[in-house]
Amino acid sequence: MEEQLEIRKTAVSSGLVRVRTMTETVEETARASLEEVGVEVKRVPIGREVATAPSVRTEDDVTIVPVVEEVLVVEKRLVLKEELHIRRIVTHEAFEVPVQLRKQRAVVERLSPETAEEN
């Protein structure tokens, strides 16, 4: 007589895992900076005779537009009447607005073999 060893495997369920996702809504504040560009016009009286009309020019951040008129004197003379000094004015304004953002998270549940048989 002799003993022999025989090995067998049997699959046994020790439980299940259920994974589900949950979506949550979170309110956050969106921030941005708005830019507005405006101009300021300043009239500068000159009243000086010129031989030819001056051209438009820029000095620093000011654009100067000459305004001329012909004046009748026994002869025509070109008189620089005024200049328009135009300056750009930039302003910044911060604003906030609430926005809805969605975030998901995973929930993992371990089920026992008894619970798995019920489902």
Of 59, 66, 62, nearest to 39 by C-alpha is 62
Per-residue confidence (pLDDT) for residue 10, from 0 to 100: 83
Strand segments (E) across 15-73: 16-50, 57-59, 62-72
Per-residue confidence (pLDDT) for residue 118, from 0 to 100: 63
pLDDT in tens, 7-57: 888 887 777 888 888 888 888 898 999 999 899 999 999 989 999 999 999
Per-residue confidence (pLDDT) for residue 116, from 0 to 100: 56
pLDDT in tens, 69-86: 988 777 778 889 998 898
pTM of the model: 0.45
The pLDDT of residue 2 is above 90: no
Per-residue confidence (pLDDT) for residue 113, from 0 to 100: 67
CA dihedral 54, 59, 63, 66 (to 10 degrees): -20
